[in-house]
Amino acid sequence: MSSTKDIQKAVEAELDFDPLVDPTDITVKNLNGEVALNGTVPSYPQYLEAAAAAQRVEGVKRVHNHLMVQLSDSDYRDDAALTTTANNALNWDVTVPPGVEATARDGNLTLSGTVHFGSERTAAETAVSGLTGVRNVKDEIAISFDADPGDVTEMVQDALDRNALIVDDSDVLVNTSDNTVTLTGHVRTWAEHDAVMDAAWMASGVYDVIDDLVITG
């Protein structure tokens, strides 16, 4: 699948096929595998799922998600109610460490606090993403864990070598500076891309991951 028209139609078909997405108000544009999603969806989970659906399509190298969440009147929650609900969800989730907090402003949630691992940040995002009334989630959670950058690089590289989704002759390179991991090289699919990113975030001492991977499609 190589033409702009084919990729655009394939993404549109995947959005229509996905039962978790209402594609009625979504438009798709493609330029050489760079896909842009524009329009509106009725919930934040659909905002996330629409991007995931587009990433599944062969030939898609990057997805620019410009969708807006347009809540119905019945799904609207005022800031105080949504803040309380979000913090309850964080407190009830055993995968989210204590100290992570949420604040809401017009349906936009901001997460703050400190955790030890990137996977704990992801758990916090997951805990609140499906709540009624959420338009977007901004993650400002800090990661604090003492680790030598050289050890971080080795841990991430070992994780990549173990991963079944990453080919043995992969040219993905891991570089760590001030506990920020930069990933470069080529991956074949979005599934392989996500596997590399997840492996990097799971390593102890990773404060941030810079994604310079190229998806060949």
pLDDT of residue 3: 60
Please give the structure tokens belonging to residue 134. 């959420």
pLDDT of residue 97: 94
pLDDT of residue 185: 92
Is residue 188 within 8 A of residue 216, CB to CB? The reply is yes
Residues with Cβ < 8 Å from 19, sequence gap 6 or more? Answer: none
Residue 79: which CATH number?
Answer: 3.30.300.130
* H/E run at residue 142: strand 142-143
pLDDT of residue 146: 64
Cα–Cα distance between 105 and 108 in angstroms, integer?
5
Q: What is the pTM of this model?
A: 0.79
Q: In the listed set 98, 115, 143, which residue is the last one of a domain according to the structure?
A: 143
Residues with Cβ < 8 Å from 111, sequence gap 6 or more? Answer: 100, 101, 102, 121, 124, 125, 128, 137, 138, 139, 140, 141
Is residue 32 domain-shared with residue 82, that is, in the same domain? no
Q: What share of the chain is helix, strand, coil (3-state, %, to 5)?
A: 40, 25, 35
Residues with Cβ < 8 Å from 199, sequence gap 6 or more? Answer: 156, 159, 160, 163, 166
Residue 39: which CATH number?
Answer: 3.30.1340.30
Tokens 């570089």 correspond to 175
Cα–Cα distance between 86 and 163 in angstroms, integer?
34
pLDDT of residue 216: 84
Helices (H), ranges, the chain: 4-17, 44-55, 79-92, 118-129, 149-162, 190-202
Kindly report the number of other CB atoms within 10 A of residue 196's CB atom.
24
Q: Pseudo-torsion of CA 108, 209, 51, 166, nearest 10°?
A: -150
Q: In the listed set 49, 69, 89, which residue is the last one of a domain according to the structure?
A: 69
Is residue 57 domain-shared with residue 25, that is, in the same domain? yes
pLDDT of residue 47: 97
Is residue 64 domain-shared with residue 24, that is, in the same domain? yes
Q: Is 35 exposed, middle or buried (0-12, 13-18, 19+ CB in 10 A)?
A: buried
Is residue 53 domain-shared with residue 36, that is, in the same domain? yes
Domain count, the chain: 3
Q: Which domain holds residue 191?
A: 149-215
Q: In the listed set 52, 69, 86, which residue is the last one of a domain according to the structure?
A: 69
Tokens 């594609």 correspond to 23
Q: What is the mean pLDDT of each run of 10 residues along the chain (217 residues)?
A: 76 97 96 95 97 93 95 95 98 96 97 90 95 96 75 84 82 86 90 88 82 87
